[in-house]
Amino acid sequence: MAALRAWFAGLAPREQRIVLIGAVVAGCVLLLGALLPLERKVAAAKEELAGKQADLAWIRSVAPRLASLRSPVAHGGGESLVVLADRVARQAGIARSLTGSQPGGDGTLSVRLEQVSFDALTSWMATLLQQYGTRVVSSTIERTATAGVVSATVVLRSR
């Protein structure tokens, strides 16, 4: 630092002013170079936030309407969970894989399926939930030697 001061002191007064003005200009350029990108990012973040808030307001405004449009869950017409699970399995084409079912004491039904396509199994469970309001309490899915084919135990509960 002492060498820099000595060099600066050795300059003519006119050169000292030029160096000082240059240092101030360089400092301003560096400061603007750092602040402008930050300002742009802040402006972009504010714009994104405003968009997200508008989306949230819209979602909140249509949520009650969407809830009222939701199709009511068609219950199994008074049929037992065992009959419902079997009927939906037949409709899904996996009735041959249904090897057993056992009612639980708490209103659940444990269903065992052997050698069933995983896609058909998930479709069966989705149909039970979406069309009949039957929940999957738990499931144990085991792979078999055949790709895409599983064995599963699914515990169901009706609403």
pLDDT tens sequence across 91-148? 999 999 999 999 988 889 999 999 999 999 999 999 999 888 899 999 999 999 999 9
Q: Find, among 58, 111, 109, the residue nearest to 80 by Cα.
A: 109
- Quickly state the pLDDT bin for 77 (edges 50, 70, 90): low
Tell me what pLDDT residue 136 has.
92
Closest CA to 121 of 96, 103, 158: 96
Percent pLDDT > 70 in the chain is 92
Cβ–Cβ < 8 Å for 133, 159: yes
Q: Is the pLDDT of residue 74 over 60?
A: no
- 22 or 76, higher pLDDT: 22
Q: What is the pLDDT of residues 25-49, one digit of tens each?
A: 999 999 888 888 889 999 999 999 9
The pLDDT, as a whole number, for residue 73 is: 46
pTM score, two decimals?
A: 0.53
Across the chain, mean pLDDT equals 88
Whose tokens are 């360089």? That residue is 26
d(CA 84, CA 10): 99
